[in-house]
Amino acid sequence: MTHSIKDNPITDKKAMHQKTIADIIAGLNAGEFTSVEITQHYLNRIKQLDGTYNSFITVNEESALAQAEAADKRRAEGDAPALCGVPIAHKDIFCTNGVRTSCGSKMLDNFVPPYDATVVENFANAGAVVLGKTNMDEFAMGSSNETSFYGPVKNPWDTNTVPGGSSGGSAAAVAAHLTPGATATDTGGSIRQPAALCGITGLKPTYGRVSRWGMIAFASSLDQGGPMARTAEDCALLLNVMASFDPKDSTSIDREVPDYTANLNQPLDGLKVGIPKEYFEEGLNPGTEQAVHDALAELEKQGATLVSISLPHTKLAVPAYYVIAPAEASANLSRFDGVRYGHRCEDPKDLRDMYMRTRAEGFGDEVKRRILVGAYCLSAGYYDAYYRKAQQVRRLIKQDFVDAFEQVDVIMGPTSPSPAFEFGAKGDDPVAMYLEDIYTIATNLAGLPGMSVPCGLVDDKPVGLQIIGNYFDESRMLNVAHQFQQVTDWHQQAPTGIDVEGAE
């Protein structure tokens, strides 16, 4: 069951947690409330509700209130940067100075970084208040948030179902109105898929647009940080802060960051929308397919033209990804050896014993599976047969998109094949789990930006419309998403049970 904020009796004066980030900024500027008041409101909600959802690993109550006080002081002095006093949450993959950063793993359960990731630093400079660190699949490996050392995150729409992964904690926290926005990361769909399953908006920028420095690596050529919020406008406000050139990150692109809010209100007349035939074949839930077609019809009414296109190598994206990503993961995770930081086994007999038992105890099953697959693919005699071949397929996938963008401005289709599934439904079949990312993985392989916006409900569970843009064309994607949200209210739907007495 759902309700729309538009139909809520307190619409004329939204409760604090019903406000978007844009609303919060306006309210703080107008003096309707202080940062301390809204921060305390969210902290109270987390305390009362998150025992059900398990969306946070760490809550920074004391430091959040101190940051809010500082923000109020800055505002009173006339020094209010972009997000001054706005509460947010960080996915627990971003290093935070003095605050545990676990990456959802026992391996890093005791790790407290001595520095901030660049993304975290950017938000601090913008005056944001950090409520805490959100739960996630271990080392970002998963599509359901069932692999976290801290237990699974539950989808606020139906707590018997998964929120998607790996950024399921951020998605669930935004959906349950425990934070107005959150950071997340996307290696093969880990922003867009949970955004779809939790009925919120999530954006994966172009590879290199957001710094990866201080973001714990899974697959370095695929990982990209991005924002999650309820609306496209809010994602634009967050991306304005997240995006930056960072000389500390060798993959960061030295390119001017535009104001992503500047073109939100441009009309869609003349927009050419590519519809890949491969995204509407066997395996797509009929209800999801209908919701996506209905959304595309709304865009046609606004002046967009639908163009049938083909991305012929789509079916090769999943197998190519599950060679490349595990190969890179096996290299990245070799640093977790019990020597320098993180978990270490008790009383090792020698160095080899310490390595083996530390990793056996510290890593979960899915992480071990991917390390083994990756090490195998990179081993002598198999490198050319698997890893090199996967990289050649990756180039073909990228060329498919390059060819498509000669015909169209954006590409659209479903974000995920179906709505949220029940816990354990795919746990015994890793391939079935991997296929949950079939529509999202190709954009990571190509380095393109993509986003998901809510576009309907199937069996009272949200489904998402995916918008894929050309390189560094996040502004156009956000414009399309914002215009869609001006004529629909799917982004205003909310789960039942989140407006409870004492958490208002």
Residues identified as active-site? 91, 166, 190
The edge-to-edge listing of strands for the beta sheet with 87-91 is: 56-59, 129-134, 87-91, 181-186, 224-229, 201-204, 450-458, 461-469, 410-414, 272-276, 305-309
C-alpha pair distances (Å), 403 with each of 67, 311, 406, 408, 413: 48, 9, 5, 9, 17
Longest dimension (CA), the chain: 70
Q: How does DSSP classify residue 209? A: S
CA dihedral in degrees (12, 13, 16, 18; nearest 10)? -10
- The β-bridge partners of 229 are 181, 201
Task: Identify the three-state secondary structure at position 350.
Answer: coil
d(CA 352, CA 326): 23
Pair 191, 91: CB distance under 8 Å: no
State how far Cα 181 lies from the chain centre: 11
Picking from 434, 440, 417, 435, the residue whose alpha carbon sits closest to that of residue 186 is 440
C-alpha pair distances (Å), 33 with each of 9, 30, 63, 179: 21, 8, 19, 16
Work out the angle between the directed axes of helices 61-76 and 35-53 (0-180°, nearest 10). Answer: 160
Give me the helices (H) in 333-383, please: 351-362, 365-378
Task: Identify the three-state secondary structure at position 222.
Answer: coil
Q: Which two tokens stand for residue 458?
A: 């199937």
Pair 397, 316: CB distance under 8 Å: yes
